[in-house]
Structure 1
Amino acid sequence: MNKMLTAKNALIVAGSLLVSAFGYANDEPRSLPVASVVNDTIVDLMDVHNIPGMAVAVSVNGTPYYFNYGVADQEAGVPVTTDTLFELGSVSKTFTATLAAYAQASGALSLSDPASQYLPALEGSAFDNISLLELGTYTAGGLPLQFPDSVNNEDDMIAYYRQWTPTYAPGTHRLYSNPSIGLLGYLTAQRLGKPYAQLMETHVFSALGLEHSYLQVPEDAQANYALGYSKEDEPIRVSPGVLDAEAYGVKSNTADMLAFIDANMDSSAVDEPLREALEATQMGYVNMGDMTQGLGWERYAYPVSLDQLQAGNSMEMVLEANEAEQLQPPLPADKDVWFNKTGSTNGFGAYVAFVPSQRMGIVMLANRNYPNQARIEAAHHILTTLAATP
């Protein structure tokens, strides 16, 4: 089985695995609408974008539904299951933001502090006047999307930051950046005095009951780690890079990710200070039209149109510096908000969205990097259809 599954075959695979969805919801009148709208949407999506495998999870009023399609390994014909691990790409930034907010809630740091306060090597640099919050909201003054090719290790990274000069006054423009939020994660670990991966495992993954989320996939979980596929349909996985863990390094499955967004929608069962941290990530700090930048999460007033979501996730928003309005005080973590985050590596594409007031959320994980706009259209269709279902 070394060829791509057709859309028809993908649906057959999905149907064979829908027992896991209905096992949670046999008595729920929404079971059939959830299954039909997800299947109809995702099978077409996979066919159009030549996606080998997808795992999709939907949370409706606290009930989880899981749908699995296609293969995690084309050559071996390994089917996608709820246990399949996918690379999350930049969805990882929501975890970095949670750890930083946890450090603030526990009194270890303040997001309003200058970045150089937590790394002596940065004293006397531009980071004397750039706050941790500005790093987390991509408003440091123009840090680029990626590090230059010359940055290959920690020493190179620190030297790069020391010589970097802002293009814009901090806080005035948003430019989406791995080195920006990556530095926030790095400085958080410096302040807490332990390796970043250990802190993430202890204070976020384990604390939220996420038993199958990793920065480095352990040997006993490798069999569940999907292969990603490049544009040339070659198997590929993410390559190591400076601050990769902090910016795009998490691997997870739909069960863990659905538990994560459920905790974000209702944190009442989460212990302090992590509960305060989750709420802090959802606050609105920087406004750019219809999209407001939270900490990791991006937010839109609900209901939200597809056009608004696609504009907020457009390539112009990713690649260009956009004028930003700092919100003082920040917007609270409201319920009538569509929260979302896209994420990609060379071989994977992810999208996560939730609306607390509707008690609905969706996780879409794929082993191909396909356009963000297509992910958003599919998720918006699914959630708005379910919201309108009696």
Structure 2
Amino acid sequence: MGFYLRTSLKAGPFRFNLSPSGVGISAGVPGFRVGTGPRGNYIRVAGAGTTYFGGGSPSPSSGGSRPTMPPAAPDSGVVMQEIVGTPVQQLVAAHPSDLIAQIQTAASRRHIWPWVAAALLILALLAAPYSLVLFMPAVPVVWWLRQRDIARKSVVVFYQVEDAPAAKYDHFAGSSGFVSGVERVWQAEAEGALHTAYQRKVNAGAGTLVRRSLGSLDLAGPPVLVTNIAVPSVHGKERSLYFLPDRVIVRHGSQYADLPYAAINARMEQQRFVETQAPPSDAQCVGTTWQYTNKSGGPDRRFKDNRQLPIMLYGRLTLTTPQGLLMIWDFSRPDVAASLANAVNRMR
């Protein structure tokens, strides 16, 4: 698949168009549109064609990959260590970025239109039987405010990637994790070592407990980023990773930071996991154990309802940086984790 997807982007009422001459922006409604671009300012009316006025000059395009525009079951005595790594604020301080500043500003803006819509609805109800008189002009006002909110919470970026960087990013976007799919992805949030024989006995003989949350893979990118390329993304409950051609964006809650690929090390290893829930259908079962085990690994008969549990083989992707970033993702298919680790390292 090619990662260069569109030459036109929409953010609220505004449309951005990329051409060999540069970038243009327009706004309007069906049948009427005004805008500006490399050829100058214009008005476009349905049936009357396009009228240009003023002048413009082509914007210089940038080369390379630069944008052309700004589970663990709880058990007494087990100490769980949170997997947090370096806070996002420290990453921002280490790698300041205009793009991240714009994304952070856009993400922090609040929607206005729901409050205006609620206020107008209450006013219309109080003004009965003249509600219709107020409702009719309120609809386009609310629509326009919603479009304005979308634009205010959007950062538009056109990427123009060529030659070797394009080949590497095309390989990344086409890696198996994002194309062929994987049934289950988890983000590891905390781990705790099982030190005593009793702790291991009541936890299926495992050596470590893991608290995890479900994740997902897609090509959507950050919600506030409007761009012309597919953005391979790994999402978790609190953390996400977005892989752009020239950088990796890290999200933790509502905070964002970015890192150069040269600073990221990706490592994949196979993970044997005692599954207490229904295992994913695309994962390999490599053995079984019991929820309560004895020293020989068999079932401990002193416990009632002692379930037999599958041991699944998963793939673990670990991302680290010298600045202390630590993110761990488990995949039901080890080959997907290996493909992603290889793709990240190739981008360095």
For the criterion TM > 0.5, the same-fold answer is no
Shorter chain as denominator, the TM-score bin is under 0.3
Q: What TM-score results when the alignment is normalised by the length of structure 1?
A: 0.23
Compare the two structures and name the one with the higher strand fraction. 2
